[in-house]
Amino acid sequence: MTLTNTIKHFVTIAIQHGGWTELDRIYLENRVLALIGLDTLSEDEALAETNATAIELVDDLVAAAPHAQTANEMELLASQLMDLITPPPSVINAFFAKYYDKEPKLATDYFYELSKINDYIKTRDIAKNVEFHTPTDYGDLEITINLSKPEKDPKQIAAEKNAPAGGYPKCLLCMENEGYRGRINHPARSNHRIIRLNLDNQAWGLQYSPYAYYNEHCIFLSDEHRPMKIDRQLFENLLRIVEIFPHYFVGSNADLPIVGGSILSHDHYQGGRHEFPMAKAPLIKTFDLLGFPTVKAGIVKWPMSVIRLESNNKQDLVRSAEFILAAWKQYSAPSLDIIAFSEDGTPHHTVTPIARMKEQVYQLDLVLRDNNVSEEHPDGIFHPHKELHHIKKENIGLIEVMGLAILPPRLKHELDEVKAYLLDDQQPIADYHRTWAEKLKATEEITEKNVSNIVEQGVGKVFLKVLEDAGVFKQTETGLAGFERFIQTLS
């Protein structure tokens, strides 16, 4: 297809999705020409038919641009081109409200599809991820080797290191990212849009995650750049969000280092349309909460320590969660290495909360977290222990807590080496995988047909141990007895 045809087809898609009309066609064609650094279109050229998507057409336009040579330059240009098929924020928010008046799901469907069409959600990159499931006593755990974020080349890394520090936008979640062109050390966001939300007179936004880990992976973010904090207001916000979007779950990372997420400097939550393994887990037992007769409470059968609360009364549910959080912040059980405060007063206890609507009943899971360290476990007592770091050593945040492992891209190549090693191939294997590989070899009968499954299930079993390490009250007789003693302080 000729460049003129590519431009004309791209402009047609822009008119379909970007809030333009046919009257804008010549203007848009000239805008595309300007962006790719060219001057003219071929006159009277027949328009060939094509099924190419906007993403494929932009690939061709970027390839034709003489000034887009580095990965960063190509990313910036692609985002600016996709901006033309993305309506301005006022138009998107108006469409979203119009659809929402009919049904909340229609509104999120509209915004989600647009975010894929304009390549804000990197669907091609996400498709590269390796995914599989591992059956366990707690249900099927979900495993993902994250290959979606592109690797940076050495030149770009050097350029980012030498680039002046920027204070605008303050972080990747700030509202100021909407439509931001980007720079060498900040991603292109020309095609980025945010839905404005009113959470009981608080200004918040909804966007989708560019490198989604699950279906309709979205982010709810405060319009104010402020640190994350687990408190009563957070519980109210989570339950308000699932009122607004009852087909979504929403949860927050913990607000302490080690057990928190990667961005603690900006108040935000994550949500989406996905049922995680933890949400399917049953209760081990139920118990009464002192002073909250409308709230059903129970311990979830899960490798981490989870209290599930359910009620038709939102305010009672909020107050009960606040009550449990306050109790947990002060609770210590030294025999189980659970210490609420260091000698200098540093707090170590918080929760990872997750909210859902279940048949018009509010459901709130509180995962008890402890970020203390010791000589034996300097990375965290309730963090993946050192023998598991060959698979997972990063923080166990909200998504992992719920049973979806986000594993580093290095594993794709390394696990292929492990498979070859198990088949007695003489290829090298990373030293930190050797003990694990030897154990697999000693306990499994390995063939070329089953080696991939054995390694994948081995990875899943390691992730199960990761979650067990992160659990403050272990799913053992001693651990559950300890959990029961904490529960008694609540009832």
Helices (H), 289-392: 314-330
CA distance 149 to 82: 19
Q: How many residues does the chain have?
A: 491
Q: What is the pLDDT of residues 378-403, one digit of tens each?
A: 999 999 999 999 999 999 999 999 99
CA distance 491 to 483: 13
221 pLDDT tier (thresholds 50, 70, 90): very high
CA distance 313 to 328: 23
CB 487 within 8 A of CB 287: yes
Q: What is the pLDDT of residues 170-207, one digit of tens each?
A: 999 999 999 999 999 999 999 999 999 999 999 999 99
**pLDDT at residue number 369:** 98
- Which residue, among 302, 300, 382, has the nearest Cα to 137 in the 3D structure? 302
444 pLDDT tier (thresholds 50, 70, 90): confident
**pLDDT at residue number 226:** 94
CB 263 within 8 A of CB 204: no
CB atoms within 10 A of CB 146: 20
**Per-residue pLDDT for 163 more than 90?**
no
Q: What is the pLDDT of residues 101-110, one digit of tens each?
A: 999 999 999 9
CB 79 within 8 A of CB 188: yes
**Per-residue pLDDT for 324 more than 60?**
yes
CA distance 432 to 393: 12
What share of residues in the chain are helix, strand, coil (percent, to 5)? 40, 15, 40
- Tell me if residue 307 falls in helix, strand or coil: strand
Mean pLDDT (the chain, rounded): 94
CA distance 74 to 77: 5
H helix and E strand count, the chain: 16, 13
Q: What is the DSSP letter of 273?
A: S
Distances (CA, A) of 180 to 188, 189, 476: 7, 5, 51
Give the dihedral sign, CA 402/377/255/218. negative
**pLDDT at residue number 72:** 93
- In the chain, the percentage of residues whose pLDDT exceeds 90 is 90
Q: What is the DSSP letter of 347?
A: B
**Per-residue pLDDT for 346 more than 60?**
yes
Partnered with residue 260 across adjacent β-strands are: 254
CB 200 within 8 A of CB 219: no
CA distance 237 to 230: 11
164 pLDDT tier (thresholds 50, 70, 90): low
Report the run of H or E that residue 36 belongs to, with start and end.
Answer: helix 25-36
What tokens appear for 106 in the block? 């229609």
**Per-residue pLDDT for 357 more than 80?**
yes
Residue 444 or residue 159, greater confidence: 444
Q: Which residues are CB-contacts of 379 (< 8 A; sequence separation ≥ 6)?
A: 258, 373, 386, 393
Peptide bond preceding 66: is omega within 30 degrees of 0, i.e. cis? no
Out of 35-49, 227-241, 303-317, 359-373, least confident range:
35-49
CA distance 165 to 185: 8
CA distance 186 to 173: 12
Per domain, the residue ranges of the chain are 3-85, 150-210+213-382+474-489
Residue 132 or residue 48, greater confidence: 132
